[in-house]
């Protein structure tokens, strides 16, 4: 990847070893060479220089920077937000325009690590183009409560799906010589009281649901940095929680990178430093003069201070930051727009399609009504630090108008939200397309999953006037649909980013076949879900929030309670049809350390090319106290009409493991395990039992 840098680092490692070792190891690997070089740099620094490198500088023109030390060859660490594209936020270095990518939740809806790789490619390339070197992405916080205001920034409710998307995304970002930062570590699952709330959860709950995506980021993707969150866990703030930062992250998982605080998340000097936080952002409230005093008094050791810097420099060296000139270059806007368009289509979920009204048939259209407040608004993304200043954007109305230009089809539009005007136009049209949505944002949660501003009444009125009503939803997370029985089709478009208009038109008219699957369950009412109506579970009582639902989160809760959601996890239709053959599973009797191999034949039985996702869930022996079933494997396959392909899915030993609280270790217990194979959490007709000996 960085061949020149790798040769240089190997040479440094050899020199270090021959010279008596600056921490380099005899195998001369690039990682060891980076460590040796980092140790050498730190050994030449004064105490004042070291302290200045433990915190952000935050000058007025740049809120996200740690200044370098040119005389020591240390470059600046230049940070930007990035879960939804290179989005530094409006207060930072002139709000540089970048490609507004589809929301991360839409990316998760692709159920396709290859799309996560393409997403990360754009992020990494644009970071290099704007001259920055650390991107605060991805966000892998699990969607415990769908009303969380930042649900759109992460990958949904299942830790296995989140992990597969995150690993591919991180690897792609870092392939560009850019540091990725996985966040927010950990249990940052609500915006309400996020700065102070204390999460009370069992270790088994943390180990099986909330920690796995971070573990995968470290162990599989070798992520460069981790952001510790605002909230506390078990009575200790995340940025001063030694069990989380040192025992688990750096000790058990072997994380060699550095831990950065969320902005203003640091709460202390000595406790944070000794727990394992390495960098305070954005200003030196605790790691400036206060850290110097703690070093002088011996409350924080000089070795711990050196470790803070070595960790960061090692990663910066590993990715070439010490050895390249930083500059800017034009962003290839058209190329990246095409990638964003492809991702957005792949993550668009066709929720309902009565009588196959979609895709719309131009030959049977004379007049199309395009209605709703989001018809004239580009759903670029949610609010907060993830906002991107888009290089370009288009609205659904603009996209549809461009798609139908020259067709002779009349477009009647109204995006005012006025019900009477919309009803009049709908009644005169062959088909009515209503585009609805919401604007979700960091800093606050939603009070309800209902659409705001009377949009439910608008949809119901339009559907009553024209039964051929298609609803396109542009929302950051699940919404209620009290009008569902009265409409012909529903398309979940999430926040498609800058290519909103073109993507919406392509899906509606069948230029592309949506192939998304829900990465999060859609509740039927606000009263559904493990935390609904339970103040101690959300938003918390007396400063604490109790995760005493345990593992029953998302589809696990619906399975355990028998409640029926509006749409289940994993659901998504297509403009074609698929047939799944009987699964072949081997071995049927499993010995310790063995993996399971699942093979399923998938056939496209329709008339269009499309993609299907084979989903594999595991039901554990009832005595183990696990949810009824849990996602443990999936594969997406694209097929031409009448084409068949055999899909292979491997389940490693961890797929059958539980966190054994008494042993405080992962354990695969003997017994019968049932593999449930299908196309959603609610549709798993094929079941195969395997026995663990």
For the annotated catalytic residues, the residue numbers are 262
- For the record, the structure tokens of 552 come out as 């029953």
With vertex at residue 623, the alpha carbon angle to CA 619 and CA 624, rounded to the nearest 5 degrees, is 65
Distances (CA, A) of 622 to 627, 659, 690: 9, 15, 14
Q: Which helix (H) or strand (E) holds 546?
A: strand 544-546
Q: Report the DSSP beta bridge partners of residue 613.
A: 636
d(CA 313, CA 318): 8
What Å distances lie between residue 543 and 232, 266, 526, CA to CA?
10, 18, 23
CA–CA distance, 371 with 400 (Å, rounded to integer): 12
Contact of 565 with 521, CB cutoff 8 Å: yes
φ/ψ of residue 584, rounded to 5: -105, 125
Cα distance between residue 75 and residue 265, in whole Å: 25
CA angle 61/67/72 to nearest 5° reads 150
Q: How far apart are the first and last CA of the chain?
A: 43
Is there a contact between 627 and 681 (Cβ–Cβ < 8 Å)?
A: no
Backbone angles phi, psi at 68, to 5 degrees: -85, 180
Spacing of C-alpha 76 from chain mean position: 27
**From the DSSP assignment, how many helices (H) and strands (E) are in the chain?**
18, 27
Phi, psi of 622 (to 5 degrees): -55, -30
The tokens describing 469, both together, are 């009503």
Residue from 145, 144, 140, 149 nearest 104 by CA: 140
Residues 6+ apart with CB under 8 A from 564: 524, 558
Q: Tell me which H or E stretch contains 532.
A: none
SS3 233: strand
Taking the C-alpha atoms of residue 140 and residue 144, their distance in angstroms, rounded to an integer, is 12
Give the separation between CA 202 and CA 234, rounded to whole angstroms: 9
């Amino acid at each position: 990847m960085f061949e020149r840098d790798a040769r240089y680092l190997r040479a440094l490692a050899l020199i270090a070893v021959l010279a008596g070792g600056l921490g380099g190891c005899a195998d001369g690997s690039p990682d060891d060479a980076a460590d040796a070089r980092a140790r050498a740099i730190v050994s030449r620094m004064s105490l004042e220089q070291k302290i200045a490198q433990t915190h952000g500088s935050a000058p007025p023109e740049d809120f996200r920077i740690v200044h370098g030390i040119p005389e020591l060859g240390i470059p600046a660490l230049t940070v930007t937000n990035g879960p939804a594209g290179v989005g530094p936020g409006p207060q930072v270095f002139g709000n540089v325009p970048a490609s507004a990518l589809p929301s991360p939740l839409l990316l998760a809806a692709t159920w396709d690590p290859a799309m996560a790789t393409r997403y990360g490619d754009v992020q990494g390339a644009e970071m290099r183009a704007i001259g920055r070197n650390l991107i605060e992405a991805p966000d892998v916080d699990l969607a415990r409560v769908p009303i969380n205001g930042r649900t759109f920034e992460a990958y949904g409710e299942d830790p296995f799906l989140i992990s597969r998307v995150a690993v591919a995304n991180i690897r792609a970002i870092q392939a560009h010589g850019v540091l990725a930062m996985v966040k927010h570590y950990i249990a940052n699952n609500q915006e309400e009281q996020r700065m102070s709330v204390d999460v009370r959860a069992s270790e088994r709950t943390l180990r099986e649901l909330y920690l796995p995506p971070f573990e995968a980021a470290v162990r599989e993707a070798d992520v460069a940095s981790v952001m510790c969150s605002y909230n506390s866990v078990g009575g200790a703030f995340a940025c001063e929680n030694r069990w989380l930062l040192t025992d688990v992250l750096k000790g058990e998982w072997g994380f060699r990178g550095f831990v950065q605080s969320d902005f203003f998340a640091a709460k202390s000097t000595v406790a944070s430093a000794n727990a394992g936080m390495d960098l305070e952002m954005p200003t030196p409230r605790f790691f400036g003069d206060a850290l110097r005093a703690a070093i002088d008094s011996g409350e924080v050791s000089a070795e711990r201070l050196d470790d803070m810097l070595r960790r960061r420099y090692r990663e910066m060296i590993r990715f070439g930051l010490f050895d390249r000139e930083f500059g800017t270059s034009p962003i290839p806007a058209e190329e990246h727009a095409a990638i964003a368009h492809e991702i957005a289509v792949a993550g668009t979920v066709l929720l309902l399609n009565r009588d196959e009204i979609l895709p719309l048939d131009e030959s049977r259209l004379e007049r199309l009504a395009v209605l709703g407040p989001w018809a004239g608004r580009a759903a670029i993304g949610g609010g907060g630090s993830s906002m991107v200043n888009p290089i370009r954007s288009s609205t659904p109305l603009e996209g549809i108008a461009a798609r139908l230009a020259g067709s002779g089809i009349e477009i009647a539009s109204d995006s005012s939200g006025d019900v009477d005007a919309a009803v009049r136009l709908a009644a005169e049209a062959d088909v009515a397309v209503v585009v609805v949505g919401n604007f979700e944002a960091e800093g606050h949660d939603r009070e309800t999953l209902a659409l705001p501003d009377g949009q439910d009444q608008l949809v119901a009125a339009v559907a009553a006037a024209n039964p051929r009503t298609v609803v396109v939803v542009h929302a950051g997370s699940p919404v209620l649909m009290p009008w569902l029985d009265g409409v012909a089709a529903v398309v979940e478009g999430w926040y498609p980013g800058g290519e909103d208009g073109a993507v919406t038109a392509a899906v509606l008219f069948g230029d592309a076949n949506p192939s998304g699957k829900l990465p999060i369950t859609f509740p039927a009412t606000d009263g559904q879900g493990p935390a609904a109506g339970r103040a101690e579970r959300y938003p918390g009582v007396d400063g604490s929030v109790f995760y005493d639902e345990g593992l029953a989160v998302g589809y696990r809760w619906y399975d355990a309670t028998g409640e029926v959601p509006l749409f289940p996890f994993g659901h998504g239709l297509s403009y074609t049809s698929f047939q799944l053959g009987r699964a072949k599973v081997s071995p049927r009797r499993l010995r310790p350390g063995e993996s399971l191999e699942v093979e399923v034949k998938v056939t496209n039985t329709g008339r269009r090319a499309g993609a299907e996702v084979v989903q594999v869930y595991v039901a554990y022996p009832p005595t183990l106290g696990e949810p009824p079933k849990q996602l443990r494997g999936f594969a997406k396959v694209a097929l031409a009409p009448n084409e068949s392909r055999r899909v292979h899915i491997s389940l490693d030993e961890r797929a059958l493991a539980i966190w054994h609280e008494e042993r405080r270790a992962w354990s695969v217990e003997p017994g019968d395990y049932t593999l449930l194979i299908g196309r959603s959490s609610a549709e798993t007709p094929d079941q195969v039992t395997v026995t663990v000996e």
